[in-house]
Amino acid sequence: MSAFSLGPEQIAWCAELRTLAAERLRPLAGRGEPGRVDRPLLAELGRLGLLARLFDSGALDLCLMRESLAQACTEAETALALQGLGGHPVHAHGTPAQRERWLPRVADGSAVAAFALSEPGAGSDAAALSLAAEPDGAGGWRLTGAKCWISNAPEADFYTVFARTTPGAGARGVTAFLVPADRPGLTGSPLEMLSPHPIGSLDFDAVPVTADDVLGAPDRGFAVAMGTLNLFRPSVGAFAVGMAQAALDATVGHTSRREAFQGRLMDLQAVSHQVAEMALRTEAARLMVYAAASAYDAAAADVPRRAAMAKLLATETAQYVVDTAVQLHGARALRRGHLLEHLYREVRAPRIYEGASEVQRGIIAKELYTAAQKEAR
């Protein structure tokens, strides 16, 4: 299959997902509490088989799910994505016991997963994290420090936690741990954010972990984090594309109906050209997301560069498209509860999380120069 086209079955599946999101997931999401984990919504995602599919399919499938759900229900998209982000390290690096205990519950929506990487002093510079894993003298560690901006915190049932086991070693001294939420010394609090996602901070007061809690190998946790992000960065782009498409669809409908200046808005060249630009950028971002996902599924050598490009282009594009849609709708789009008011709050965060746009530019440049140096040898 070409990276730049979808087959009939994929197209039909995406249409089915949009229908499910509109008819079954959006009503559930509407009854949820903003800023809190929506367990009934997660349970429905589990019943529909979408959470299990997070671990049974590739990056392109993940992107198609996130894009399709985002067009009709961003809350459902986010709930699904956060389960995948928190659960993927267990799926990819967990021991048989870890996988057996947690993955079935993640897949049916009964256990909430979270990915705990960012810290108050280590956001974009993930290698600078300082949560300390200090040896306890009995073959285990005690985790001391804080995490911040953690999705699903403090309500998750377990956390994939990245802690420093070797001081001064940068990215090479980080270990990934699977930490159940009921461990003594682990507390947290919610944070009120611009978008209504469940996000909070975590405090670790000598939280005990053992060798049985390690994901992957000691001091190799940064690879666990980056491998997870390389998978999910293109799908963040897919989320953004879904939001952009929803904003574009709303704008086409509005400008084709709205009467102004003795005609419809669509008859004004200034308006129609803006709508064309919105469509152009959205489709370009979509194609780059699909290409990056296909590269991941093919285990291509340039996945980090493609993933960074896809996230960067798609999230910046979605910001432009949603902002332009608000402008063309006028004051009605600023009213609380309007689709575009909702998207306007949703679209800002993806330019920051899982690597800010500036970080993505740095990754792209590094990959380009590294490739050029290899060719010059």
Residue-level pLDDT at 258: 85
pLDDT over threshold 90, residue 312: yes
Residue 124's pLDDT band (boundaries 50, 70, 90)? low
Residues 150 and 139: their CA atoms lie apart, in Å, by 28
pTM for the model stands at 0.91
Residue-level pLDDT at 4: 61
Q: Nearest-CA neighbor of 114 among 188, 41, 209?
A: 188
Residue 126's pLDDT band (boundaries 50, 70, 90)? low
* C-alpha 259 chain-centroid distance: 39
Instruction: Tell me which amino acid residue 355 is.
Output: G
Close Cβ partners of 223 (under 8 Å, ≥ 6 residues apart): 216
Close Cβ partners of 171 (under 8 Å, ≥ 6 residues apart): 126, 127, 222
Tallying the residues shown for the chain, one arrives at 377
pLDDT over threshold 90, residue 154: yes
pLDDT over threshold 70, residue 211: yes
pLDDT over threshold 70, residue 72: yes
- Kindly report, residue by residue over 138-152, the tens digit of the pLDDT: 889 999 999 999 999
Bridging pattern class, strands 158-164 and 113-116: parallel
Half-sphere exposure of 73 (CA within 13 A, CB side): 26
Residue-level pLDDT at 59: 93
Residue-level pLDDT at 123: 65
% residues pLDDT > 70 (the chain): 98
Close Cβ partners of 27 (under 8 Å, ≥ 6 residues apart): none
Give the catalytic positions in this structure: 354
Residue 321 near residue 282 (C-beta atoms within 8 A): yes
Structure tokens at 170: 């940068």
Residue 288 near residue 237 (C-beta atoms within 8 A): yes
Residue 1's pLDDT band (boundaries 50, 70, 90)? very low
Residues 177 and 186: their CA atoms lie apart, in Å, by 13
Residues 321 and 279: their CA atoms lie apart, in Å, by 8
Residue-level pLDDT at 274: 97
Close Cβ partners of 56 (under 8 Å, ≥ 6 residues apart): none
Residue-level pLDDT at 3: 44
Residues 208 and 204: their CA atoms lie apart, in Å, by 9
One-character DSSP codes across 275-329? HHHHHHHHHHHHHHHHHHHHHHHTT-TTHHHHHHHHHHHHHHHHHHHHHHHHHHH
Q: What domains can you pick out in the chain, each with its CATH number?
A: 8-108 (1.10.540.10), 113-219 (2.40.110.10), 223-376 (1.20.140.10)
Residues 175 and 310: their CA atoms lie apart, in Å, by 28
Q: How far is CA 204 from CA 112, 139, 161, 373, in A?
A: 19, 19, 11, 43
Average pLDDT score over residue span 162-179 = 92
Better-scored residue on pLDDT, 57 or 201: 201
DSSP state of 32: S
Instruction: Tell me which amino acid residue 202 is.
Output: L
Residue-level pLDDT at 128: 79
Residue-level pLDDT at 93: 96
User: What is residue 161's three-state secondary structure?
Assistant: strand
pLDDT over threshold 90, residue 71: yes
* C-alpha 360 chain-centroid distance: 15
Residue 237 near residue 282 (C-beta atoms within 8 A): no
Residues 196 and 207: their CA atoms lie apart, in Å, by 29
Residues 102 and 104: their CA atoms lie apart, in Å, by 6
Instruction: Tell me which amino acid residue 187 is.
Output: T
Residue 129's pLDDT band (boundaries 50, 70, 90)? confident
pLDDT over threshold 60, residue 81: yes
